Structure 1
Amino acid sequence: MDALAPKSESLFQVAWAQFRRHRLAVWGGRILLVLYFVAAFAGFFSPYDPNYYELYPPKGHHPPTRIHFVDPETGRLSRPFVYATRRTIDPVSLQPRYEEDPSQGKFYIRFFVRTPDQPYTIFRVFRADLRLFGVDPPGRIFLMGTDNFGRDLFSRLVYGAQVSLTIGILSALVSFALGLLLGGIAGFYAGRPFVLALPLRAWRGRGLVLGPLSWLLWGGLAAGALYLAWTYIRLTGFGFFQALALLAALWLAGFLVLTLPFRPIQVDVDNLIMRLVEVIAAIPTLFLLISLRAVFPANVDPLTTFYLVVGLLGFIGWGGLARVVRGVVLSVREQDYVQAARALGASDGRILARHVLPATASYVIVSLSLTIPGFILAESGLSFLGLGVTEPYTSWGLLLQAAQQGGFASFVDRPWVLWPGFFIFVSIMAWNFVGDGLRDAFDPRRRQ
């Protein structure tokens, strides 16, 4: 009889089977796999270094190179090849114009070419110079044209995917780490305030003297209040309102030093964390990002800027997850298995990590897939405003900023510079499709 019994499946096996039935989600996953694979091996898939350009002959705003498959001399199919181009200036618009120059011969596209003059690294560990395709110099192949400096836009798009796509995942991981931790703590300890017995008399008899910590805490706040009042008087001069500010600062300092050190401090972790979430949510996201970014110097190292953007995006995005996780934990902590673990002597940390937070796994997976595209858009917006990733690194938002500087001509004369916007749209849609598929897969009411 046991052999005829149906084989039980785990939650993730059932969710995976349901996810595969969602065609848009499957195609979105395939698109993301291609994008991330190409971004991971950007040096191999790009024909040139993203910052490589030629001073002479200049190639600024070169249109996409035309690839020929038919030999004009014989009229038969041949190996793909390109022609060199000749640059002229349009006498009316004064814009560069490029024409094919067959007199220099054909430049056949070759695969798996070596470029020892333009090496690259894989994951910043392995050094290589093998590229998927290329042409022999002086021929050039620009699949998506060039920017205003003559740099290959396809190579810059591939390298920009490394930054834009990676920032989305890293920022989401930072945000979810904060949201899970703080939301779990807020829900688990809701209604259980901590009493910090810092006053000296509260520790009397225990052999510990932690009273000075209380004096240090409240004395520091009192000194800060007096310093602010003194700075206000020094900048504005002494008058009636300045005297009132000084009296208020003296009263506050006396209250902090003479009263609060003799009282135990009671902290409600749930109330503290949720009020912080409300403060962050009350400030517009873009304004908060710009304000936090302005705190740091504008000329910091580009790699430091990358990690700075990751940290800022993760810091402002954890509040919504913390709210939901808190609500889930409030209900889960009253379940019988949690109470049984507490009765067996399990510590709060073990109960939270092993029994409470895993109950939020399905929501976290779905929310993570729907949050990543928001971070990709946020990074693109910051870079577009000049507050994100800086040269020599590149991102899709930075490429769009360069396209915006061309004005209306970017739409009329050189529309190929708008390719970064297309890839942002595709990646966002793919992540949304994957998120929709995961939401349906983990929802028992939608299972087939």
Structure 2
Amino acid sequence: MTALPAPGEKSEASALSLAWRRYRKSRLGVLGGWVLIVLYLSALLAPFLSPYDITAQHQGHEYQPPTRLHLVAGGHLSWPFLYGTKETRDPVTFARKTVDDPSVQIPVRLLVRGEPYSFFGIRTDLHLFGAPGGFYFPFGSDQLGRDLFSRTLVGGQVSLTVGLIGVLISFAIGILMGGLSGYYGGVTDNLIQRLVEVLLSFPRLPILLALSALIPARWPSGWVYLGIVAVLSLIGWAGLARVLRGQVLSLRQLEYVSAAQAVGARDLRIILRHIIPNLSSFLLVTATLALPGYILGESALSFLGLGIKEPMTSWGLLLSDARREGFQTLNLYPWLLLPGLFLVITILAFNFFGDALRDAADTQTRL
């Protein structure tokens, strides 16, 4: 005989199914979710997807435009290939430059051996694609001849994970401080809320710049990364704590909280095990909508030269490299702005996905 599900299990399953149906109604939200999955997978697999190491400099290929792939050879459809290159001199400026050599055709291969890298502790040199015997730059190269495609993928690891880790840390602080403020009230509430008001009274960008300036320039890249996450987290919890305080104030009067107090449960356990889980949908939506702010914060600091440093890279740092060329970038080297396109797509995807989750969590929304 099949056991009947408990009433709570059935209602929870039906609520999740209804929320899933509401989410699927938003085409932009579904599209944003798939875009985020692709972006995070590409960041996870960046060493494998990148044809070159991000620090590898290819002399003679500085400011190389995106390499064109060719599919027709001798009037027939062919496997993708690219032309070889040769050096020549500009007849006007007499400067050396690299141009295509149609007499040399280099096929693009899959699963090729290239520069070694470490993937989850495993040392390997296998890359998804490459052009043995030539240079293939899907996004072009920068002023040092480094592959911009590889640097964009690896830069996504920093920009995307900064948002995730920053949200986790700031939400942990915000949940704890907001929960204590709303649950206890009185002096505890006053002290926490005055601290929140102080943090919220400062403009976001100046306080980011002030805190990031405290990070020593001699720190290794890994330490700078952790420092940027800490800076973003320290100023990101205040708004959540204020909103969460009001939620906890209304929930602490409910029967299940009084029942937990009656059986002698500790206050912190009541907050974390009984009150906060009932706010999970609100926290999930808020975290999704807050992630773009952390990504933009890191990009702004790196763009201004106060964030991620070489040899690490991020989308903000890549845009900072494009800034060095001034207004000539748009005219001479427009491919250097491609990391900014990834940044815009990520922010839009998070906003669409967060809006869809908010509608899905709204029980008043009609199917």
2:90 & 2:190 partners in 1: Cα distance?
67
Identical counterparts, % of pairs: 48
With structure 2 as the length reference, what TM-score do the two structures score?
0.94
Does the 8 Å contact 2:72/2:78 carry over to 1? yes
Does the 8 Å contact 2:56/2:146 carry over to 1? yes
Q: Which has the larger radius of gyration?
A: 1
2:95 & 2:154 partners in 1: Cα distance?
28
Q: Equivalent residue for 1:446?
A: 365
Are residues 89 and 334 of structure 1, via their aligned partners in 2, closer, same or farther at CA, if it must alter by over 3 Å?
farther
Q: 1:53 aligns with which of 35, 52, 57?
A: 57
Which amino acid is 1:385 matched to?
L
Does the 8 Å contact 2:215/2:224 carry over to 1? no
Q: Equivalent residue for 1:122?
A: 119
1:287 & 1:368 partners in 2: Cα distance?
23
Which amino acid is 2:160 matched to?
L
SS at match of 2:364: helix
Give the unaligned 5+ runs of structure 1: 192-267
Query: Does residue 144 of structure 1 match 2:139?
Result: yes
Q: How much does 1:15 deviate?
A: 1.7
Q: Equivalent residue for 2:341?
A: 422
2:177 & 2:167 partners in 1: Cα distance?
15
Are residues 120 and 445 of structure 1, via their aligned partners in 2, closer, same or farther at CA, if it must alter by over 3 Å?
same
Does the 8 Å contact 1:61/1:96 carry over to 2? no
Are residues 313 and 422 of structure 1, via their aligned partners in 2, closer, same or farther at CA, if it must alter by over 3 Å?
same
Q: Equivalent residue for 2:174?
A: 179
Q: Equivalent residue for 1:64?
A: 66
Q: 2:29 aligns with which of 20, 25, 30?
A: 25
Query: Does residue 107 of structure 1 match 2:99?
Result: no
1:97 & 1:147 partners in 2: Cα distance?
14
Give the alignment of 1:286-325 within 5 angstroms: 286-325=205-244
1:427 & 1:352 partners in 2: Cα distance?
34
Which amino acid is 2:117 matched to?
Y
Does the 8 Å contact 2:85/2:100 carry over to 1? yes
12-21 vs 59-68, greater mean Cα deviation: 12-21
Q: How much does 1:108 deviate?
A: 0.5
Does the 8 Å contact 1:47/1:132 carry over to 2? yes
Q: Equivalent residue for 2:302?
A: 383
Are residues 148 and 89 of structure 1, via their aligned partners in 2, closer, same or farther at CA, if it must alter by over 3 Å?
farther
Q: Equivalent residue for 2:40?
A: 36
Give the alignment of 1:229-240 within 5 angstroms: none
Q: How much does 1:126 deviate?
A: 2.0
Q: List, as ranges, runs of 4+ consecutive aligned residues in structure 1 with deviation greater than 2 Å.
A: 7-14, 86-98
Q: 2:313 aligns with which of 382, 394, 399?
A: 394
Q: How much does 1:101 deviate?
A: 1.1
Which amino acid is 1:364 matched to?
L
1:131 & 1:28 partners in 2: Cα distance?
28
Q: How much does 1:111 deviate?
A: 0.2
1:94 & 1:420 partners in 2: Cα distance?
32
Q: How much does 1:10 deviate?
A: 4.7
Are residues 300 and 44 of structure 1, via their aligned partners in 2, closer, same or farther at CA, if it must alter by over 3 Å?
same
Does the 8 Å contact 1:441/1:447 carry over to 2? no
| Equivalenced residues, count | 361
Are residues 154 and 94 of structure 1, via their aligned partners in 2, closer, same or farther at CA, if it must alter by over 3 Å?
farther
Q: Equivalent residue for 1:76?
A: 76
Does the 8 Å contact 1:79/1:108 carry over to 2? yes
Q: Equivalent residue for 2:326?
A: 407
Q: CA deviation digits over 1:47-66, x for unaligned, max 9? A: 111111123xx211001111
With structure 1 as the length reference, what TM-score do the two structures score?
0.78
1:85 & 1:408 partners in 2: Cα distance?
28
1:166 & 1:95 partners in 2: Cα distance?
42
Are residues 355 and 94 of structure 1, via their aligned partners in 2, closer, same or farther at CA, if it must alter by over 3 Å?
farther
Query: Does residue 347 of structure 1 match 2:266?
Result: yes
Are residues 186 and 141 of structure 1, via their aligned partners in 2, closer, same or farther at CA, if it must alter by over 3 Å?
same
Does the 8 Å contact 1:382/1:397 carry over to 2? yes
